[in-house]
Amino acid sequence: MTTGSRTTWRRVRDALTSPNVLFSLIWQVFLIYPVLAVVYSGAPTAPTVLGLASVAVFSAVYLAGFASPAVTRDYPLHLRRTARPTRDASTLAARGESPLASRGEAPLAADENWLDHPAGTPAPLGLGYLAGLVVCAFGTLPAAGINGPTNFLPFIACFTAAAWPLRRSVPAAVALIVLGCGAALLESNVAMLIPCFLVIPVVLSMIGTRISVGISDREGHYRRALGVVEERERMARDLHDVLGHTLTALTIRAQLARARLDSDPDITRAELENIETLTRTALAEMRQTVSGMRVADPARELADLTGSLRAAGMDVRVDGTPDLVPAQYAVLVAWTLREAGTNIARHSEARRVTVEFTAGGVRLTDDGRGIHARREAGSGTGEGPGTAGTGTAGRGLEGLAARAADAGARFEVRDRSAAAAGVGAAGPGKGWPGAETHETGTVVAVGWAR
């Protein structure tokens, strides 16, 4: 078998085993009624054979129709078939836009297309298959009379409900019921009303299936699109924290090396080696961050923080140890140490820094310029006072607030002169040394005790 033949066979197999085709098979059992109408009609052999052949061909065309693009394209989401261009989830994610609101537009309505197809090309309505079904239905007319085509009304209604938009399929179903009832009255045959009224549950079943499955599928698209956006935000936040800290440390080391270049070549050489080590570390961390494999460690971040700040000429005091941090908050604390240390080194102009660990939280305090002073001086930190969710904050502090919220902890950043808000019974806030003070500087705290 050639490659082209295998591909064709695979497409046929996939089409015949698709959910909508399997759904259509459920109704095939009701073809027994037109078969019985033809067989027990007492018609001559030729009309009988024609009628049975028409039923067989009807079954094949019915299955082919459900496997055709008229049903499979956008099924079951095409509650309204339009030629309007679609807004694909992956396209929105690639643009960095929310799939719930694209460029100020409202979210996709429940009856809009979702799956992508060429813009300006309306979905087919399967009119050729519908015509074939009608011709096959009337093929039973010579043997069974008008009762023969009437038995096919539920099948035709089911196909139109699957292939047509609601604004057309519902009126079509009503029209089929009216035609069937008219034929029953014309023939004075009450039994012919049965297939007419079967149109109602059949159409409602198909529409209900399309809506329920369509909503589920739509939610899956939204979840995947939101997952992409959330991953992009996580990566941007991690890269900001990783590179911001490392570049700050590199700047401090480079400044120190330049200051000692002439007076102390040994220190300069040591600082250049530190710069090389930091550069390699930054490259490795960036790769780990992009791959999502980086695990932040509070002890390592504390060592980096104290090393960088002391190299910048600051006195660093550590009360407690990272061992006091519960495992579920270790990553949060590590990122807090990294971001707070970066901000202190870049913007605070502090002389002393205190890092305090307790069983209820972690707190970093410096004696430099407070956040209000930094903003008024236009230092470009982008930091703002207040707790998470209030005021304005830089990207790094916003990231810390988001991390704290995700971990179920509380985040606080404020001037030392401000009254402590408190983030836990044993955490940062009241009860900590210097919680109520008029000294200058900044407090960054994360707490989890209740």
- Please measure the distance between the N-terminal and C-terminal CA atoms of the chain and give it in whole angstroms: 70
Q: Residues near 256 by Cβ (< 8 Å), separated by ≥ 6?
A: 267, 271, 311
Give the C-alpha separation, 386 to 398, whole Å.
Answer: 11
Query: What's the total number of domains in the chain?
Result: 2
181 in Cβ contact with 193 (< 8 Å): yes
The pLDDT assigned to 200 comes to 92
The pLDDT assigned to 138 comes to 95
Q: Residues near 98 by Cβ (< 8 Å), separated by ≥ 6?
A: 92, 226, 229
Would residue 142 count as lying in a domain?
Answer: yes
- Taking 70 as the pLDDT cut, the residues of the chain under it are 1-5, 11-20, 70, 72-124, 240-242, 244-245, 288-295, 371-395, 417-440, 449-450
Would residue 192 count as lying in a domain?
Answer: yes
Last residue of a domain, one of 196, 228, 260: 228
Q: Where are the beta strands (DSSP E) in 107-146?
A: none
The pLDDT assigned to 30 comes to 85
- Is the domain of 221 the same as that of 320? no
H/E run at residue 94 = helix 89-95
Q: How many CA atoms lie within 13 A of 153 on its CB side?
A: 28
- Is the domain of 200 the same as that of 63? yes
Would residue 223 count as lying in a domain?
Answer: yes
Would residue 240 count as lying in a domain?
Answer: no
The pLDDT assigned to 307 comes to 85
Would residue 275 count as lying in a domain?
Answer: no
Would residue 279 count as lying in a domain?
Answer: no
- Is the domain of 219 the same as that of 339? no
Would residue 287 count as lying in a domain?
Answer: no
Which one, of 380, 378, 449, 390, lies nearest residue 414 by Cα? 390
The pLDDT assigned to 25 comes to 80
Cα-Cα-Cα-Cα dihedral sign, residues 380, 382, 387, 390: positive
- Is the domain of 67 the same as that of 183? yes
Give the C-alpha separation, 159 to 17, whole Å.
Answer: 17
What tokens were used for 198?
Answer: 């079967």
Last residue of a domain, one of 228, 255, 288: 228
- Is the domain of 116 the same as that of 213? yes
Give the C-alpha separation, 356 to 348, whole Å.
Answer: 18
- Is the domain of 59 the same as that of 172? yes
Beta-strand pair 352-358/361-366: antiparallel
Give the C-alpha separation, 147 to 36, whole Å.
Answer: 11
The pLDDT assigned to 150 comes to 93
The sheet with strand 442-447 has its strands ordered as 315-319, 352-358, 361-366, 442-447, 410-415, 386-387
The pLDDT assigned to 388 comes to 37
Cα-Cα-Cα-Cα dihedral sign, residues 232, 238, 241, 243: negative
- Is the domain of 202 the same as that of 341? no
Q: What residue numbers bound the domain in which 443 lies?
A: 314-450
The pLDDT assigned to 223 comes to 85
Last residue of a domain, one of 206, 228, 250: 228
The pLDDT assigned to 376 comes to 60
- Is the domain of 53 the same as that of 178? yes
422 in Cβ contact with 428 (< 8 Å): yes
Would residue 403 count as lying in a domain?
Answer: yes
Can you tell me whether residue 319 is helix, strand or coil?
strand
- Is the domain of 57 the same as that of 204? yes
- The CA-atom distances, in angstroms, between 82 and each of 123, 209, 280 are 7, 20, 55
- CATH code of the domain containing 418: 3.30.565.10
- Is the domain of 222 the same as that of 326? no
- Is the domain of 203 the same as that of 325? no
